[in-house]
């Protein structure tokens, strides 16, 4: 038995998220179908984490076990032959049987794209949240800086298990300007359910002048989801990369 790790890119617009569901197409489903067609085996694939319905990935990491004799260098091509156009394996490598894509992940980096435009832009409607009103970027950047470090992010998450810890450590939190787009980049050792989308929704309230930076800080300290801003749509969100300890994956 071999364990294979994959780096996967997908356009999430037509998926109901990562995890298998009885009532919708998912990334896990199409990957497992491709593995079955390429190897003849029913293999369960495990991702580094779930992405929301409509969210995208440039560097999702997953693993599966197989008895196939397909050489390592041919696994990527074999799976891509059967995958649909909105999903691709970018890299594949054999790992130890104790490797787990979720439990060994050190951190994850996400990007959220906001398009500043008074008119709709059809070519970016599946990958950007459009904001037609003017945004003050510097207060949003100040809020992003406040989030760095270890905090209790209960105000910005929707945890399904009340006993789960809501403390996370953010190492990167910044807004970048790219022409008419704003990109929020955030890396952390873990994220609460819908955390990035709620953070973006709350910081956009600051950018629109609906609250100030001091109020944003109070919301963080309050640990109360009801005080934070709205959950923004998933289509602006992309999982950029998953970080593992050095040397754990050959493609890094």
Out of 14, 52, 65, 224, the active site residue is: 52
Active site residue 52: yes
3-state secondary structure the chain: CEEEEEEEEECHHHCCCCCCECCECCHHHHHHHHHHHHHCCCCCCEECCCCCCCCEEEEEEEEEEECCCCCHHHHHHHHHHHCCCCEEEEEEEEECCCCCCCCCCCEEEEEEEEEECCCCCHHHCCCCEEECCCCCHHHHHHHHHHCCEEEECHHHCCCCCCCCCCEEEEEEEEEEEECCEEEEEEEECCCCCCHHHHHHHHHHHHHCCCCCHHHHHHHHHHCCHHHCCCCCCHHHEEEEEEECCCCCCCCC
Residues annotated catalytic, as ranges: 52
């Amino acid at each position: 038995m071999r364990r294979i790790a994959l780096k996967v890119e997908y356009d999430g617009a037509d998926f109901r998220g990562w995890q298998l569901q009885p009532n919708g197409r998912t990334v896990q489903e199409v990957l497992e179908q491709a593995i079955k067609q390429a190897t003849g085996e029913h293999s369960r694939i495990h991702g580094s984490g779930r992405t929301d319905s409509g969210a995208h990935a440039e560097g999702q990491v997953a693993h599966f076990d197989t008895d196939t004799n397909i050489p390592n260098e041919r696994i990527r091509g074999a799976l891509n032959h059967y995958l649909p156009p909105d999903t691709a394996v970018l890299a594949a490598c054999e790992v130890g049987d104790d490797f787990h894509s979720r439990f060994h992940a050190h951190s994850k980096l996400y990007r959220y794209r906001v398009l500043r435009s008074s008119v709709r832009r059809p070519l970016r409607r599946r990958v950007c949240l459009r904001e037609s009103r003017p945004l003050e970027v510097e207060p949003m950047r100040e809020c992003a800086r406040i989030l760095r470090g270890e905090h209790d992010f209960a105000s910005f998450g929707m945890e399904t298990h009340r006993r789960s810890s809501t403390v996370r450590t953010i190492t990167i939190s910044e807004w970048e300007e790219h022409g008419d787009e704003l990109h929020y980049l955030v890396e952390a050792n873990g994220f609460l359910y819908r955390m990035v989308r709620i953070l973006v929704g709350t910081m956009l309230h600051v950018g629109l002048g609906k609250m100030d930076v001091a109020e944003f800080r109070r919301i963080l300290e309050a640990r109360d989801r009801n005080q934070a801003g709205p959950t923004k749509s998933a289509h602006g969100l992309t999982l950029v990369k998953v970080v593992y300890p050095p040397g754990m994956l050959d493609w890094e």
